[in-house]
Amino acid sequence: MSLTSEDADPSEQRAAARPAAAHPQPNRVTFNRLELHRILNLYGRMVADGEWRDYAIDFLKDRAVFSVYRRASEVPIYRIEKDPRLARKQGMYSVISATGLILRRGHELERVLLVIDRKLAVV
């Protein structure tokens, strides 16, 4: 007994139409657990203070970006980027302002994030 095209399960047809092994996902740069923990701790404090309201995480082929928004409809006020290509040069972590100015770049995430912590603590 064979199944004709009208008797076949539609989900099986869709699964057969797009083979997953033929197009593997390219390697993407991501934040590890400790990096995300540190960034989200800072984000949580700023949300509690009413400074930040939304965020976005982008895992791109060449870098990972954590964007912070004051409101969801605006441009990000800060972008925390991890670019492994710069690990041996200027440091793979950087904090970039809304205007595109690199506020701090370095090899350690803790020290790079201090530019945001200090700026908001002094004000």
Give the confidence band of 122 by pLDDT, cuts at 50, 70, 90.
very low
Report the SS3 class of residue 102: strand
pLDDT at residue number 11? 47
Contact 68, 61 (CB under 8 A): no
> Tens of pLDDT along 54-108?
899 988 898 999 999 987 677 889 999 998 888 888 889 999 998 889 999 999 9
Averaged pLDDT, 47-51: 86
Radius of gyration of the chain (CA): 21
**Lowest mean per-residue pLDDT among 37-41, 42-46, 68-72, 76-80:** 68-72
Give SS3 for 88. Answer: coil
- Say whether pTM exceeds 0.85: no
